Amino acid sequence: MKNIISFLMILLIFLALVACSNSSNNASENSDAEEEVKELEVWVHVPADDPEGENYDVRAKEFEEAHENVDVTVEHIVKTGGGSGYNDRVNAAITTGELPDIIALESVYTASYTDSDILLPLNEYLDEATFDSYLDTIISAGSVGDNIYALQSFDLSSPVFYNEDLFEEAGIEVPADENGNWTLDLAWSYEEFLENARKLKDHMGQEPVHMFTENNGWHMYAHSPIIFSNDARMVGENGLDTEGYLDSNNTKEALQFIDTLFRDGIVASTTREDAFALEEAAISFEGPWMVDVFENEYPELNWSIMPYPYGKDGHQSAPHGSWYIAATQNTEYPELSAELVAHLTNKDSAVKMEEEAGLIPGHQELLDSSETYSDYPRKLMLDQLVNTNHLKPKSPIFPVLEDALGDIMEGIALDNGSLESLINDAKEKVEREADRFK
């Protein structure tokens, strides 16, 4: 009897629970029908307390306020060396099909991601006027073929620093326009660069030019423009063909110029940290963030910025590229996601990023009013971003191209084999990978 009562009690409780859960489901279904909340998830590679991370949070909040029933979550997945922490998470999400609506990605990987149908073509959801606002260089970096996949509110262009005192002591006349500025059109050719570097070497008694020689992405970012300025390419339009590109005469000529820099003792075979800051180098290919370092930590250093040396007239090139924002094919709300990408990278973001991080605004309209980049020498960074060629390969095998160029540059620096053999090795490496995509 006792057992029967217990059984009935349990049955009663169970039925009551089922009834409750059904009624709550019904209630939520009803409310869903009334106002469906659209949830958008954004993954970025910067921490929340970084100006860039903070900017994404502010824009996400604005977007929520401007749209009813839209909930935007920004997840800050901090990248570690080489972007690995963040990239690992994205890779895992690609494998499990759990990518968020919006991701941050290095602009150079846009081609790889589009080749794998991961990104949403933004031009299918946004009008032309939206894109017209951005710098051509940003549109170009975020596009593959006829589609635009990624945007950003700012960009970077790495400068070539020079030491005014050492130039003067070595008797080098600095090219200048009527306002006394070393402008883009007064850039040194390969020959002029070599001639003046030799004068500096004679004066200083050591390698006058500093370059980072380790094999990493820096060669592609900061040194490849020297090569591309000789009308040289690593791969063809499809991002995969090397024949006639990596081994072209123009590429060889450009690499020969770099080889001469090392063989003539103009650049040291290994990296000399702080060589420029300590006045042990008169010219240095370093990142734009060094401007603040030189200003704050080396106030005595009389630095300025010169244009990138070039190989052939009309082919001047300069570094560019950053982390961009893109919507993924995983999103349930493509239109809304595309709109959010544009909002995260809008003019307000550009202003904030210039004010707080000193980055070049990525919207045409803001260039003239830019406070940081209105005067030389900093204006030169803006000029080279806007007015030079940006020929980093758009290729699904970009990581291999980056390594192949790194192998060549490191080989030149260490004098490890002839230029011909270094190019052939790099070509072989690229072709092996390219074959997988053909």
Binding site for other proteins (CB under 8 A): 84, 87-88, 91, 94-95, 97, 112-113, 115-116, 118, 213-216, 269-274, 397, 399-400, 403, 407, 410-411, 414, 416, 429, 432-433, 436
286 vs 403, which CB is nearer to other proteins? 403
Distance of closest approach, residue 420 Cβ to other proteins, in angstroms: 16
64 vs 274, which CB is nearer to other proteins? 274
Distance of closest approach, residue 119 Cβ to other proteins, in angstroms: 11
Element (H, E) at 342: helix 334-344
In the structure encoding, which two tokens stand for residue 140, read together?
């170009």
58 vs 94, which CB is nearer to other proteins? 94
Pairing relationship of beta strands 283-285 and 209-210 according to DSSP bridges:
parallel
Distance of closest approach, residue 222 Cβ to other proteins, in angstroms: 17
51 vs 417, which CB is nearer to other proteins? 417
Q: What is the DSSP string of 311-379?
A: SSTT--B-----EEEEEBTT-S-HHHHHHHHHHHTSHHHHHHHHHHH-PEE-BHHHHTT-STTSSTTHH
Residues facing 209 on adjacent strands: 267, 283
Residues facing 119 on adjacent strands: 328
Q: Is 309 exposed, middle or buried (0-12, 13-18, 19+ CB in 10 A)?
A: buried
Q: Distance between CA 361 and CA 174 in Å, rounded?
A: 28
* 3-state class (DSSP) for residue 117: coil
113 vs 376, which CB is nearer to other proteins? 113
Distance of closest approach, residue 316 Cβ to other proteins, in angstroms: 30
Q: Distance between CA 13 and CA 15 in Å, rounded?
A: 6
Element (H, E) at 323: strand 323-327
42 vs 268, which CB is nearer to other proteins? 268
Distance of closest approach, residue 138 Cβ to other proteins, in angstroms: 23
Distance of closest approach, residue 375 Cβ to other proteins, in angstroms: 34
Distance of closest approach, residue 235 Cβ to other proteins, in angstroms: 16
242 vs 317, which CB is nearer to other proteins? 242
Residues facing 150 on adjacent strands: 326
In the structure encoding, which two tokens stand for residue 131, read together?
């894109």
* 3-state class (DSSP) for residue 207: coil
